């Protein structure tokens, strides 16, 4: 899909992957509608013509206001990038259910609700793209990240279903599965902490800009799935071919944090 001139709505745009997407898509000529909770950080993202909305997208009123403001300013929405998300490192067997509900409200229900608001505008023109930012944890369940993985598996399945549902309307859907991206993601998790070896894995991380470039490239070539870095496909393939071995290795990484 052509980025230049497109109206691109990005959630979680004040930092990390969202802010990087604003820079990359804006640099390729997109017209930007950006939303995040942190109004101060959001103020410096995007060019002078970007539309900025500060608010919590888990709230229906915020979502409806965001879409209405975007359409009022730009006339349409061509690309929706559901980027906003959070982590939860607490084990599934004792995670507070209130935290789990908050996780799913942001990681799954907010993208679904925004998609439902945006698709009617895309249907009118028989053109559009939904980009859902999942994770490699949405391809292979990570035991220190079980509930986060569940939320991202759900988002990936939603994307695949949307792609089939909306194909007759000329609307496409793309899943993005980043590996370790060098952002402040861990510090904003709802609870728990990752294993030490994972927490120290930043030397293997890609930058948010590299991730955003991969997303933009996927948009331009109408990719079904973008997994970045691409070496992550080897991990996914191994998990499919040798599930017992991969599960044992992942459990070993996780074991120190569940031992007495």
Using only C-alpha atoms, what is the Rg of the chain? 18
Instruction: Name the token pair of 135.
Output: 């994770």
Cα angle for residues 113, 8, 12 (degrees, 5° grid): 60
**φ, ψ for residue 172, nearest 5 deg:** -110, 160
DSSP type of residue 185: T
Alpha-carbon gap, residue 241 to 108, rounded angstroms: 28
DSSP 3-state of 63: helix
Q: CA 159 to CA 153: how far, in whole Å?
A: 10
Tokens of 233: 């496909």
Give the integer Cα–Cα distance in Å for 233 and 246.
Answer: 14
* Cβ 206 vs Cβ 179: under 8 Å: yes
The 10 Å Cβ neighbour count of residue 212 is 28
Tokens in use for 8?
């691109």
Pick the closest to residue 193 from 118, 88, 67, 76 (CA basis).
Answer: 88
Q: Which of 89, 121, 148, 180 is catalytic?
A: 148
Quick check: is 180 catalytic?
no
Contact 216, 28 (CB under 8 A): yes
Catalytic residues: 148
């Amino acid at each position: 899909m052509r980025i230049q001139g497109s109206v691109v709505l990005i959630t979680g745009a004040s930092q990390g992957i969202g802010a990087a997407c604003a820079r990359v898509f804006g640099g390729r000529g997109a017209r930007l509608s950006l939303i995040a909770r942190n109004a101060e950080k959001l103020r410096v993202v995007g060019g002078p013509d970007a539309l900025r909305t500060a608010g919590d997208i888990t709230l229906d009123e915020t979502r409806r206001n965001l879409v209405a403001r975007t359409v009022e300013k730009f006339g349409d929405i061509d690309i929706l990038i559901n980027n906003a998300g959070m982590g939860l490192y607490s084990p599934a067997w004792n995670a507070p259910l209130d935290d789990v509900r908050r996780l799913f409200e942001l990681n799954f229900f907010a993208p679904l609700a925004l998609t439902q608001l945006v698709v009617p505008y895309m249907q009118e023109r028989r053109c559009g793209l939904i980009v859902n930012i999942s994770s490699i944890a949405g391809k292979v369940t990570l035991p220190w990240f079980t509930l986060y993985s569940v939320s991202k598996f759900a988002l990936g399945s939603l994307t695949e279903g949307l792609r089939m549902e909306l194909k007759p309307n000329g609307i496409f859907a793309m899943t993005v599965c980043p590996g370790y991206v060098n952002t402040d993601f861990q510090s904003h998790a709802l609870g728990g902490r990752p294993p030490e070896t994972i927490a120290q894995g930043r030397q293997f991380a890609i930058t948010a800009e590299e991730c955003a470039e991969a997303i933009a490239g996927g948009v331009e070539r109408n990719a079904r799935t973008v997994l970045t870095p691409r070496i992550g496909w080897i991990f996914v393939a191994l998990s499919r071919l040798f599930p017992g071995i991969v599960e044992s290795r992942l459990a070993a990484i996780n074991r120190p944090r569940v031992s007495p």
